[in-house]
Structure 1
Amino acid sequence: MITESSVLETPTGGPVQSAITYEKIPTHIYSDAKAASRAVAREIAALIRQKQSEGLPCILGLATGSSPKTVYAELVRMHREEGLSFQNVVSFNLDEYYPMEPDSLQSYWRFMKEQLFDHVDIPAGNYHIPDGTVAYDKVAEFCRHYEDMIEAAGGLDFQLLGIGGNGHIGFNEPGSLSNSRTRLMMLDHSTRAAASMDFGGLPRTPRKAITMGVASILNAKRVVLLAWGERKAPVISSAVEGTVTEHNPASYLQTHPNTLFVIDGAAASGLTRMKAPWLVDSVIWDNKMKKKAVTHLSLTLGKPILKLTDRDYNDNGMSDLLAQYGQAYDINIDVFNQLQRTITGWPGGKPNADDTFRPERALPTSKRCLIFSPHPDDDIISMGGTFQRLQDQGHEVHVGYQTSGNIAVADDEALRFADYVVDFNEKFGINSPEATRIFQDAAAFLRTKKDSEMDTDEVRYVKGLIRKGEAKSTCRFVGIPVENAHFMNMPFYETGKVEKKPLGEEDILVVMKLIEEVKPHQIYAAGDLADPHGTHKVCLDAIMEAVRRLKGKDFMKDCWVWLYRGAWAEWDIHEIEMAVPMSPDQVMKKRFGIFKHQSQKDGVVYQGADSREFWQRAEERNRGTAELYNRLGLAEYEAMEAFVRWQY
């Protein structure tokens, strides 16, 4: 069960600490990225001030990407509100795409100016960023000069790092050697795929970058690496607990005498102290921990829960659990029964049934259900089987499409659509000057659009119209009235860029309005924490704040909130509180529902590092959930969609 405190900052805001026996790099785990960023910003500020008091420059190595944005925002705040001066700061950035114009939307030069340099008093000549415009035959010379500048400045006092999904630091991709220096690097496919959302697709994403080398980073006096979100969990656990290997360049930091990893709970989920905390420290054996330990033991040993023995518990650090709850036989049955009770083919509750041990209430037999979909396809991708069940079982189902999803439509798809509308109007003499102008202007812009240009308002409108039509098609396919599809167009999203505005009051009010209109008995929301700065997380924050504000209303006393996950990951098995099984036919029907989103098929703009299409990811995830239940000794299903209830 997700409680409010488990998804928000802890009261102290400090790192989660425990005895460490597996970690080879000091690692601080914070409740969220904001709390972690404040701590890192305070350390940087303290170093700047210390150097100022000594009359010395402060030499900073800086990173780009989503991870350090919150650190830079906090430093800017400290400059404005606390008088933190950057007059003595000299900075060297890690990397830059090659080739890359400095004024390009994707340029790290532009990123640093927009995120930090333009908002503080650092002298213009004091910051240095690799030059993405240097002639190819001059790159090697430039890289040597960059190294010389760092050395002449006295070396880096502090190096800030992010980490790529494949373990790269800077753009030192897997295979980089520990003695590598600043150089031109060919980017790994996974790196390019992850960055493709910034460039409007993989074909437009650069293949090379200039980067400081591993040795350049290791020469810094202090190194702090940031990581947010569960997508970074596997590579973080490998870097912190695994062996030093060129296959995970971040693991080289094990050899640095003054390195700290600063991560949030989601990025830490692969560490032993999070996966199996009873192996590193004493724990409170409440029911949640018991369920986590028993399922972990069962999956680790490859034995169904009901076959676990006392010796299995004792040999795997769980003797205290036996001491508190008795023999393995009793514990096994208890946990098995808890898992069994999560499985239901009635996500809206089963009429005329005893609901004592069911995930959902039997009454009212017909519920008003509100599914929040961050993008126009998350409803069908993430919970399409449950969506269909709710409709088939007689519930009143509404979908709130929180954003237009317009940036995920490829330019050629939008151009095809715009040309069709213009040609159709001309053919049949439809006289709507404003409509014709919108589509003509959109088509004209798209034919000459440069990679560095943002979409115009007209193009964004056309792309949003495409996705709106696809969402309506999905609703018709499932069987709900199109008037039950609510297009919310939350303002934070409508920037025309991958970078969105922070969550604002107007966004929360939009969500509140829809909840008050529908008065739901059930709310389904995307609890995907893969990217804490991503659209899903912002949409979830808006829902949670709206629910908190409305919880005093009479209708909210009967409203339960269920969280689903996206196409990227699933809830851990011990967290799941409702699992909705699907037959092979239902899996196929869900696939056809996903196919209604044609603009997201056969070459998704923002595919990420995963080359599979969304329907493939969803099916593999749903089958994987069913397989976990089967491995634990429960019934075998074709696929399952899983949910966790949020207690507000």
Structure 2
Amino acid sequence: MKVLNYSETTFEKLPVTIFEEAGAGAARVAGEIAGLVRTKAQKGEQAVLGLATGSSPIGVYQELIRLHREEGLSFANVVTFNLDEYYPMPPDELQSYVYFMHAQLFDHVDIRPENIHIPDGTLPVEQVREYCLAYDKQIEAAGGLDLQLLGIGRTGHIGFNEPGSSIQSATRLVKLDPLTITDAAKDFIKEEYVPLRALTMGVGTIMKARQIVLLAWGEGKAKILRETVEGQISEQVPASFLQQHPRVQVVVDQWAALELTRIKTPWLVGMCAWDDRLIRRAVIWLSQHRQKPILKLTDEDYKDGSLSDLLVEAGHAYSLNLKVFNAIQRTITGWPGGKPHSNDAQRPERAAPAHKRVLVFSPHPDDDVISMGGTLLRLVDQGHDVHVAYQTSGNLAVFDDDARRFADFALDFAKQQHGDADALRREHAEVVGFLRHKKLGEEDSPLVQKIKTLIRKGEAAAACRFCGVREANVHFMNLPFYETGQVKKKPLGAADVQAVVDILQAIRPHQIFAAGDLRDPHGTHKVCLDAIFAALARLKGPAAWLENCYLWLYRGAWQEWDVEEIEMAVPLSPEELLRKRQAIFKHQSQKDSAVFPGNDKREFWQRSEDRNRATARRYDQLGLAEYEAMEAFVRHRF
């Protein structure tokens, strides 16, 4: 499919540049900022930058640090003004934007401390209004913002300008939208710890910048990006005010762009270069749009749906419908490991060998049963040699109370069994003392990390036993990148990749299942997948067994593959769905309420079942067989 330039579209009201990966887009933006800083320095002027926090600008800051260290980019002439800060918020708290900016940028470059300006979250409330007025005057006194860097929240906020903000708004104290609070919970552990208010530059302050760059990475930003770029200007989507700015760049990765008309439904924009995948997408879209099963679509439906050009390419609706219907039907299989002694020409998996070695990679200790528990059970039931490899310990997702409870249990058990438990008593006191004085977001002590790791390990082992996976086939990798004791992880390293290489070489699987969350550039799942890809790339030459290995990608607890992407759909009966639920229940520390619930209040088993039922319902609506639920996979060719 051709990717259209901004100038060729009629839907986008802002210039959008799409990059394949977030890193490439971040590097481009960092390069433009560096050019601005150097140009200003040559003129003996200051470069005045408006900076953002959150995950979106991190890649930009990383590249700026690299340019400083490796290419001599100096920040001596740079003055910065940050968009916002939680209120109230001491600057030394791990969740403060003061802490964030110093950790992500300022401590690594030669910027002058007096040139750094971040809203003060410690002021008495009666001083806030005067302070905010002075903040805007400081920006004006510095000559105004040369460039303002922005992320975008799922409410459409820029800075903390939530829905309802005026285009004339100045720097001020605001209350946060409930959705913004939910999204911030990942940094504060629980929603109740997130401040309800914040200090923010106003939309009017932002709009005075001479240049604005809006960043958006990942599928989670796709819908609000479409509203911002293609929708009407509205106070309900504050980012849409950017349509009135004369010099804005919107820089996104391919996943954040998924909902843009030129990407999602390019036939509504103009001529398309039709291939099988785009044809499948168009026919599925038309079926959903017309609320008709695929085999009932007519030539008139195609014409009314702006798909006359597809009829010219493919002929009559009947043959086109049949082609797409058959392709989707062939994705359905009750034999995820391949059906022995059968004609596998039209099946997702090979018939031989009849009993395969299967390696299921699970980023956290419950992703396997949450995301593909029904398929895992089916693979075991059908006699395959199933291994499960838990890539990270998942210890961050254990509540402190659970760590204390298990420490109490260990001490009481030791007393009852041995009477004397002095060593364990000392460790117990250490755990209790640490947890009693632990700050919000503080790194766990090594002993607390160990307890939390053992909790997740025990739960995962119990789930595998329930599913029938042999004890010797359960592997706990504890990849080093994760083991920081904090939400922030280390970058993927050589030791992480080598651990994946080692387990692949040891098992030599015929099938690999992995969490395929390609669309989230910041998550643990993506790092774990990158480790797998790097390991496979290293093994591809010398490991001949890889030629007969298929890699199947599943999605996490949050989203499912679109029907157009699915290459293997495993139907589940009501009984199988219940068995899957029981496997998920073995992860008791994640039951009822998880440490990182995300923006979904449902429990993991509920999200999983609702998602699996929704997939089956979509197949049914397209006119295929009706099932209770389905798990979906996409094959990755390496």
- What secondary structure does 1:645 align onto? strand
Distance in 2 of aligned mates of 1:536 and 1:85: 35
Residues 123 and 15 of structure 1: is their aligned pair in 2 closer, same or farther, counting only changes over 3 Å?
Answer: farther
* Alignment of structure 1 residues 1-400 onto 2, 5 Å: 19-400=8-389
**Cα offset for 1:436?**
4.9
Residue by residue, what CA displacement relative to the aligned partner does 1:519-563 show, whole Å, maximum 9, x if unpaired? 111000001134211100000000011111112312212110000
Does 2:465 correspond to 1:476? yes
Residue by residue, what CA displacement relative to the aligned partner does 1:557-586 show, whole Å, maximum 9, x if unpaired? 211000000111111111100000111222
Residue by residue, what CA displacement relative to the aligned partner does 1:251-276 show, whole Å, maximum 9, x if unpaired? 22122221121110111111111111
Does 2:403 correspond to 1:414? yes
Does 2:493 correspond to 1:504? yes
**Contact (CA 8 Å) 1:200, 1:410: kept in 2 or not?**
no
Distance in 2 of aligned mates of 1:274 and 1:503: 31
Which residue of structure 2 aligns with residue 571 of structure 1? 561
**Contact (CA 8 Å) 1:527, 1:536: kept in 2 or not?**
yes
Q: 1:615 aligns with which of 597, 605, 613?
A: 605
**Contact (CA 8 Å) 1:29, 1:265: kept in 2 or not?**
yes
**Contact (CA 8 Å) 1:380, 1:593: kept in 2 or not?**
yes
Which residue of structure 1 aligns with residue 618 of structure 2? 628
Which residue of structure 1 aligns with residue 579 of structure 2? 589
Distance in 1 of aligned mates of 2:5 and 2:545: 37
Distance in 2 of aligned mates of 1:439 and 1:385: 39
**Contact (CA 8 Å) 2:181, 2:191: kept in 1 or not?**
yes
Distance in 1 of aligned mates of 2:505 and 2:204: 58
Aligned-partner residue type, residue 185 of structure 2: S
**Cα offset for 1:21?**
1.3
Which residue of structure 2 aligns with residue 647 of structure 1? 637
Residues 620 and 419 of structure 1: is their aligned pair in 2 closer, same or farther, counting only changes over 3 Å?
Answer: same
Distance in 2 of aligned mates of 1:492 and 1:431: 38
**Contact (CA 8 Å) 2:614, 2:629: kept in 1 or not?**
yes
Distance in 1 of aligned mates of 2:568 and 2:337: 11
**Contact (CA 8 Å) 1:595, 1:601: kept in 2 or not?**
yes
Aligned-partner residue type, residue 207 of structure 2: L
Distance in 2 of aligned mates of 1:256 and 1:575: 37
- What secondary structure does 2:8 align onto? coil
- What secondary structure does 2:627 align onto? coil
**Cα offset for 1:242?**
1.4
- What secondary structure does 2:601 align onto? coil
Distance in 2 of aligned mates of 1:435 and 1:268: 54
Q: Percent identity?
A: 58
- Report the more deviating stretch, 474-483 or 438-447: 438-447
**Cα offset for 1:87?**
1.4
Aligned-partner residue type, residue 576 of structure 2: Q
**Cα offset for 1:358?**
0.5
Residues 349 and 437 of structure 1: is their aligned pair in 2 closer, same or farther, counting only changes over 3 Å?
Answer: farther
**Contact (CA 8 Å) 2:443, 2:484: kept in 1 or not?**
no
Q: TM-score of the superposition, structure 2-length normalised?
A: 0.97
**Contact (CA 8 Å) 1:15, 1:29: kept in 2 or not?**
no
Distance in 2 of aligned mates of 1:294 and 1:435: 65
- What secondary structure does 2:289 align onto? helix
Distance in 2 of aligned mates of 1:451 and 1:480: 38
**Cα offset for 1:223?**
1.0
Residues 288 and 467 of structure 1: is their aligned pair in 2 closer, same or farther, counting only changes over 3 Å?
Answer: same
**Contact (CA 8 Å) 1:15, 1:36: kept in 2 or not?**
no
Does 2:504 correspond to 1:515? yes
Distance in 1 of aligned mates of 2:566 and 2:441: 44
Distance in 2 of aligned mates of 1:325 and 1:381: 40
Aligned-partner residue type, residue 202 of structure 1: E
Distance in 2 of aligned mates of 1:604 and 1:644: 28
Distance in 1 of aligned mates of 2:426 and 2:533: 40
Residues 430 and 626 of structure 1: is their aligned pair in 2 closer, same or farther, counting only changes over 3 Å?
Answer: farther
- What secondary structure does 1:210 align onto? strand
**RMSD in angstroms over aligned alpha carbons?**
1.8
**Cα offset for 1:291?**
1.0
Residues 509 and 452 of structure 1: is their aligned pair in 2 closer, same or farther, counting only changes over 3 Å?
Answer: closer
Q: TM-score of the superposition, structure 1-length normalised?
A: 0.96
- What secondary structure does 1:50 align onto? helix
**Contact (CA 8 Å) 2:6, 2:15: kept in 1 or not?**
no
Residues 561 and 439 of structure 1: is their aligned pair in 2 closer, same or farther, counting only changes over 3 Å?
Answer: farther
- What secondary structure does 2:241 align onto? helix
- What secondary structure does 1:617 align onto? helix
Residues 122 and 345 of structure 1: is their aligned pair in 2 closer, same or farther, counting only changes over 3 Å?
Answer: same
Residues 87 and 292 of structure 1: is their aligned pair in 2 closer, same or farther, counting only changes over 3 Å?
Answer: same
- Report the more deviating stretch, 425-434 or 451-460: 425-434
Tell me, which stretches of 5 or more residues in structure 2 are unaligned?
none
Q: 2:526 aligns with which of 521, 526, 537?
A: 537
- What secondary structure does 1:524 align onto? strand
- Report the more deviating stretch, 93-102 or 558-567: 93-102
Aligned-partner residue type, residue 386 of structure 2: V
**Cα offset for 1:376?**
0.4
Q: How many residues align?
A: 637
Distance in 1 of aligned mates of 2:266 and 2:636: 24
Tell me, which stretches of 5 or more residues in structure 1 are unaligned?
1-5
**Contact (CA 8 Å) 1:341, 1:358: kept in 2 or not?**
yes
Aligned-partner residue type, residue 422 of structure 1: L
Distance in 1 of aligned mates of 2:232 and 2:611: 29
Distance in 1 of aligned mates of 2:7 and 2:480: 41
Does 2:372 correspond to 1:404? no
Distance in 2 of aligned mates of 1:139 and 1:388: 58
Residue by residue, what CA displacement relative to the aligned partner does 1:374-410 show, whole Å, maximum 9, x if unpaired? 0001001111111111111111111110000111111
Distance in 1 of aligned mates of 2:400 and 2:163: 33
- What secondary structure does 1:585 align onto? helix
Aligned-partner residue type, residue 132 of structure 2: C
**Cα offset for 1:18?**
7.3
Distance in 1 of aligned mates of 2:515 and 2:116: 40
Residue by residue, what CA displacement relative to the aligned partner does 1:474-503 show, whole Å, maximum 9, x if unpaired? 101111122211000000000111111111
- What secondary structure does 1:71 align onto? helix
- What secondary structure does 2:174 align onto? strand
**Contact (CA 8 Å) 2:386, 2:473: kept in 1 or not?**
yes
- Report the more deviating stretch, 370-379 or 600-609: 600-609
Residues 291 and 431 of structure 1: is their aligned pair in 2 closer, same or farther, counting only changes over 3 Å?
Answer: farther
- What secondary structure does 2:559 align onto? coil
Residues 540 and 273 of structure 1: is their aligned pair in 2 closer, same or farther, counting only changes over 3 Å?
Answer: same
- Report the more deviating stretch, 284-293 or 432-441: 432-441
Aligned-partner residue type, residue 102 of structure 2: K
- What secondary structure does 1:486 align onto? strand
**Contact (CA 8 Å) 1:59, 1:89: kept in 2 or not?**
yes
Aligned-partner residue type, residue 596 of structure 1: K
- What secondary structure does 1:366 align onto? coil
Distance in 2 of aligned mates of 1:150 and 1:388: 61
Distance in 2 of aligned mates of 1:632 and 1:19: 32
Aligned-partner residue type, residue 130 of structure 2: E
**Contact (CA 8 Å) 1:582, 1:638: kept in 2 or not?**
yes
Distance in 1 of aligned mates of 2:422 and 2:339: 54
Residues 367 and 127 of structure 1: is their aligned pair in 2 closer, same or farther, counting only changes over 3 Å?
Answer: same
